Amino acid sequence: MRKTLPALLALILFMSMSKDKPAYKIYTSKGKEVSFGQLVNEAKKADIVLFGELHNNPIVHWLQLELTKTLHEELGNKLALGAEMFETDNSLIISEYLAGKVNDRNFESEARLWPNYQTDYKPLLQYARDNQLNFVATNIPRRYAALVNREGLESLDSLSSAAKSLIAPLPIEYDGKLSGYKAMLDMMAGSGHVNTNLPKAQAIKDATMSHFILQNFTKGEQTFLHFHGTYHSDDYQGIMWYLQKTNPGLKILTIHSTEAVDIEKIDDEISGKADFLIVTPEIMTKTH
């Protein structure tokens, strides 16, 4: 027994030290665990992939870059990219950056960039530049979303034609009964400060992102991979709702990102939110 005990202790120690600590798990909408490769196989068959992210999660951002690279290997120049994090009035400087006409220093000083651009979005934009992929700024300029938040959707009617070219064609259809928009009002009601325009400001973002995705996409010839906060495509609403209103024949794949204490299972509350669910540890280091 004395001879075997040290060996047994060593084995236990080795097993405890070598236990996997996965940084993420991927599940289908029904909770079946799948591999990254299975996600890729489905994504490359889609017309449009709506990748809902957690803005400050490093694993989700890494997976975005890896999905971009892998789809590019599979699809070549048939892959197009776009993102919420870039607003349509920055389209010119982004095009110039992608064409190599503007260097990183000038681009970063002149474009309006999110605080986590360097760590989370620059790698995507650089990959697009280095591989001659189109990268589309799809989001409404924030000043117009703020206008809607203050004065409602009707306030957009008085904008100039140049300003209107930067947003979805007016008037946009708005359904306040959609659960995503209704939840925003319910949350505000709980805080005691209700602004009925807030979900409309969200809707004009969704409609604008949908519009510029479709404006830069050709069905049957491309797969368009779009990055945005997960709320913009959860429950097959938001951007997807507007895409389907314009073109119901599109094959759209959605991805939802979330954090959990235990990533070995998914909570009922996120089941069904998207075609694929990415779960990362709740204690994951944040990028900002």
Each of the 288 residues of the chain gets a pLDDT tens digit; together they read 444 556 654 555 554 445 678 899 999 999 999 999 999 999 999 999 999 999 999 999 999 999 999 999 999 999 999 999 999 999 999 999 999 999 999 999 999 999 999 999 999 999 999 999 999 999 999 999 999 999 999 999 999 999 999 999 999 999 999 999 999 988 887 777 779 999 999 999 999 999 999 999 999 999 999 999 999 999 999 999 999 999 999 999 999 999 999 999 888 888 899 999 999 999 888 888
Domain membership flag for residue 82: yes
Domain membership flag for residue 13: no
Q: How many domains does the chain have?
A: 1
Could you check whether the bond before residue 58 is cis, i.e. omega within 30 degrees of 0?
no
Domain membership flag for residue 44: yes
Q: Which two tokens stand for residue 30?
A: 């029904």
pLDDT of amino acid 7: 62
CATH number at residue 220: 3.40.50.11550
Domain membership flag for residue 209: no
Give the H/E segment covering residue 91: helix 91-98
Domain membership flag for residue 156: no
Domain membership flag for residue 236: yes
Q: What is the DSSP string of 92-147?
A: HHHHHHHTTSS-HHHHHHHS---TTIIIIIHHHHHHHHHTT--EEEEEPPHHHHHH
Domain membership flag for residue 230: yes
Domain membership flag for residue 220: yes
26 and 277 in contact (C-beta within 8 Å)?
A: yes
Structural domain including 239 reads 23-138+214-281
| Dist. CA 223–CA 225, nearest whole Å | 6
